[in-house]
Chain A
Amino acid sequence: MSAPARTNPNPPHAPRTPPAPHTPLQNASAPGSPRPRTRASTLVALLVTATLLITGCSAQNNSLAEQANAGDNKNYIAGDGSVAEYAPDTRSEPVDVKGELYDGTTVDSDQWVGNVVVLNVWYAACAPCRVEAPMLQTLSTSFAPEGVRFYGINVRDEKPTAEAFERNFGITYPSFGDRDGKLLLSLTSYVPPQAVPTTLVLDRQGRVSARILGIADESTLKTLIADALAEDNPVTPLPSTTARTDDAS
C-alpha cells in the first residue's frame, strides 16, 4: 500500500511501513433482496459468516502468526513439528535438483534413483537444528545398510562454520552449501520447505514422500523412512518413463 520512503539508514529489522488495516472480511457479495426481513437475516448471516471465518482461519496460520507476533528476532521461521506423508499417487514429480556439496562434489538427483533419500535443511546457529542433529546422525548410520542417503542443505553458513557444526555433532553425511538459495529454489517446485529445520523424505523414484516442518521426532522420521523403504523398488523407473514419453511423441 505504501512504499517505505526512507533514505536514512535504519536498523535492518525495523521496517516501519504504516500498518495496513487488517480486515477479517470475507464476503464481498451484497445482500440480495432489499426487503427488510431478508436484509435483517442477511445481516445476521453476514456477521455469523464473518465470525466463523475470523475464528476458523486464524487457526490455520497460528504458528506463523504467533512467530510473527513474538518479536524475538530469532531470524528464522520455525516449524510446528507438523508431519505430512504423501500417498504414492498424490506425490509430486521426481525431484530434479543439482547442487554442490561443501567438499566440492557436484550431486545430481539422478544419482538417487532407487534409493530412499533424506534431505535436511539446516544452519549452524539455528537452535532447533542443533537439537535434532544427533538424531539425524544416528538414523543416517542405522539406515546406511539399506541404502538410505542423508544430505544436509545448509542455507546460511559458509564452509568453515558448517564444518565446525559437523565436527561438533559428529555428522558424517554430507551437506550442500546453498547460501544463494538455488537448490532451495528448485526444491520449492516440489514440496516447499517452510521452516528451519525442514526434513524431506524422497522415495526410490525421487518423489517427496514426507515432509517434517520443525524438529523431527526420531521415531516419526524412522517410520517415514521405513515406509518409503517398504514401497516396491521400481525397476529403473526413470528410463522407462523416458521411453514412454518417447513413444507418445
Chain B
Amino acid sequence: MPADPTPGQTPGQTTNQTLEDAPGQAPDQGLDSRPEQTPDISVSSLSAGEMLRWVWRQLTSMRTALQLLLLLAVAAVPGSLFPQRRANPAVVTQYLKDNPDTGPWLDRLQMFDVFSSVWFSAIYLLLFTSLVGCVLPRTKAHLKALRSAPPRTPRRFARLPQHGSIVLNDGGAGMPAPDPAAAVKDAAAILRKLRYRVDIRDADTATPSVGAERGFMKEAGNLLFHTALIGVLVSVAIGGMFGYRGQKLIVEGEGFTNALIGYDSFSPGTNFNPDTLTPFALTLDDFDVRFNRDEQSTYGQPLDFTARMTVQESPDQRAEDRVLKVNSPIGIGGTNVYLVGNGYAPVVEVRDGEGNIAFSGPVPSQPTDSAYTSTIVIKAPDANPDQLGFVGFFLPTAVVNSEGLAFGSDPDPFNPRLNLNSYYGDLGLDDGTPRSVYQLDTTNLTQLNGRDLNAGGIVLEPGQTYELPDGRGSITFDSLKRFVALDITYDPGKIGALIFSTLALTGLILSLITARRRVWIKARATPEGGTTLEYGLLARGEDSGLRNEAIKLEQALSSHWGVTPSKNEQKKPEPSPDTPQQM
C-alpha cells in the first residue's frame, strides 16, 4: 500500500473535516461537489489498497454518516410493523401460526428480530465506524487549530463584511495620542476581554496589528456531540450484551428469587452469564388496586396499583418492606423490578376420581378487558385415574344477560364467578413437552362439561364445589387472590446512555449557539500625529450577529480611548464566503 498521504487520483477525497478547520483552503468544495459521478474506469484502475482507502473515505464522510443515521431510523420501522420476539415472543409464535405463507419468509428476513438482525447490525456497525473515523481526524484538526495563531491580517479591511476605523488624536488635556504599538496592545487587551484569542504581529513596524479569533467551542461542541453519539451506541451495545430481561408472575403471599430457575420467561443479552444474576428475593405481601368510584365518566377505571413487597437484597441481608407501583420500579443493585400487569388468581381445589386432592392453589387468570374478564386454565396432571383439565372464564363481577350468558361488568370482585368447561384424559405434560400454561391442548382430552353438553358448564362462586359427572372428581372455588406480573430488567448500559445523550445534547447546543468570528485591528500613525485604528470582522459561517459584534467592538474601543466614533464605514453585510458549517 503506498504511503503517499496525498492520494490525488482517488475519487471522493473530500474528507469529513469541515472546511473551516483547514485555514487557507479554498472553500469551494461543498459537500455536494464530491465526485461521485466519477466514471467507473477510474475506480477499476485503483489498487486494492487504494480501493480500501477510498471506501474508508466514503464511509467516514459526513454525508455517509448522516445517510446511515437516516437508514438506521428507516430500518427500525419494521420493528413497529411486525411483532418482535424481544417484546413478546408469544405474539410472534401466534403470527407465524396465523400466516403460514408469509410468516416464515418474514422470519428469514429477521423481521421479528429487527433490532438484532444482521442488516440492522450492519447499519449500526457502519455508523459506529463512520463516526469513529469522522471524529478522530476532526479532533486532531481542532487541536491543531487551537494551537495555531489566528490567521494573518488581511491587507485591505474594506473587503471584510464588517469593518471601520476610529482615529485617536491628542487627548486634549496634555495627553498625547497613543503610538500605534501601544494602541494595538490595548486593543488586544480589549479583544481578550471579549473572549477572543489574540495574536499581536508586526509590533515593531509602522503598521502593527492584532489578529483575534473566537468560537472554538463550536467545533468542540460538535466533536463532543459526535463522541457522545459513539458513547450512546457503545452503552446501548453493552446493555444488549450483558443485560437481561425476565418476567415473573407472583400471587399474593408468594415469592420470587432472582435465579434463572425463578423466572417464567427470560431473555438474555448476547454475552449474558447466568451466574451473574444478583441473588435477591421478593415476596408479594399484598396487592392493592383502586378503581374510580367518584366520577360517572371514568367510573371503574383504575386509579392506583400498589404492591407491598418484602425485599431481601442478598442472602445474608435482612428483609425490608418496599412499595412497588406502576412507573415506580424497585431498584436492587442495578436490577429494576417493574410492575407491568396484574389480575386475579382464584384459589381452587381439584379432587380426582379417587377422592384425593390432585391440585390445590391459586391459578393466575389472564385479564382480557378493563372489567378483568379473564381467561383461566386449570390443570391437574396428578389426578387419577385420569388427568383433569379446566378451561373457562373468571368474572370479578358477573352479570347474567337475558340470554343466560354471563359477562363481567366491574373490575372489583363484587360478584366473582368461575365459569368452566372440564376435560379428562391426557394433558400432554408427561412426555416432557413444554406446554403453555394459558392453553389447554384438548387433542387427547374428552370433554365432560360445557354449555353444549348435557352436563352443562360449571359455574362456581367462592366456597362452592361442583361434582364432575361420572364421579370423575370435583372442583372447589375456595377464595380469590390477586397476582402481579413483574418485568425484571438489568441494563448495565442505561446510565452510560443517559450520560452520553446528555453530553450529546450539550455538545449540540454549544455548537449551535457559539459563533465563530475573526477580528483584526491594525494601527497606523496619521500625518497629524494621531493614530488610526482600523478594524475588520469576519464570520465563519452564517452569522447574523456580526454587525452587532462590530458595533460592540467599536464602542469598546471608543470608550477605552474616550473618543467619539469618527467615521464608520459600515457596509451592508455581504454573503459570507464560507460554506455554512456542517454538523
Contact = CB atoms under 8 A, between A and B. Distances in A.
B87 A17 contact: yes
A83 interface: no
Contacts of A189: 279, 315
A108 B437 CA distance: 34
Given A24-B121, A26-B241, A34-B136, A68 B432 contact: no
Interface stretch (B183-191, B255-263, B573-581): B255-263
Given A30-B136, A70-B89, A160-B359, A130 B430 contact: yes
B274 to A, nearest CB: 5
Interface stretch (A74-82, A135-143, A226-234): A74-82
Interface in A1-39: 1, 3-26, 28, 30-31, 34-37, 39
Given A11-B341, A15-B487, A64-B266, A130 B88 contact: no
Interface string A212-223: 000100000000
A188 interface: yes
B69 interface: no
Interface in B251-308: 253-272, 274-275, 277, 279-281, 283, 302, 305
Given A1-B497, A185-B281, A185-B312, A194 B274 contact: yes
A68 B315 contact: no
Nearest to B264: A75
A64 B120 CA distance: 22
B494 A158 contact: no
A54 B116 CA distance: 10
B89 A68 contact: yes
A180 B367 contact: no
B327 interface: yes
A107 interface: no
Contacts, number: 350
Interface stretch (A109-117, A162-170, A237-245): A162-170
Interface stretch (A43-51, A144-152, A201-209): A43-51
Interface size for chain A: under 10, 10 to 19, 20 to 34, or 35 or more residues?
35 or more
Contacts of B339: 4
B56 interface: yes
B255 A4 contact: no
A4 B340 contact: yes
A128 B431 CA distance: 7
B219 to A, nearest CB: 17
Given A1-B494, A184-B257, 8 more contacts: A14-B341, A15-B341, A20-B240, A22-B240, A39-B133, A130-B381, A184-B262, A188-B259
Interface of B: 1, 3, 5, 7, 49, 52-53, 55-57, 59-60, 76, 79, 84-94, 113-116, 120-121, 124-125, 128-129, 132-133, 135-137, 140, 230, 233-234, 236-237, 239-241, 243, 247, 249, 253-272, 274-275, 277, 279-281, 283, 302, 305, 312, 315, 326-327, 329, 336, 338-343, 349, 352, 356-361, 364, 366-368, 370, 372, 379-384, 411, 429-439, 483, 485, 487, 491, 494, 497
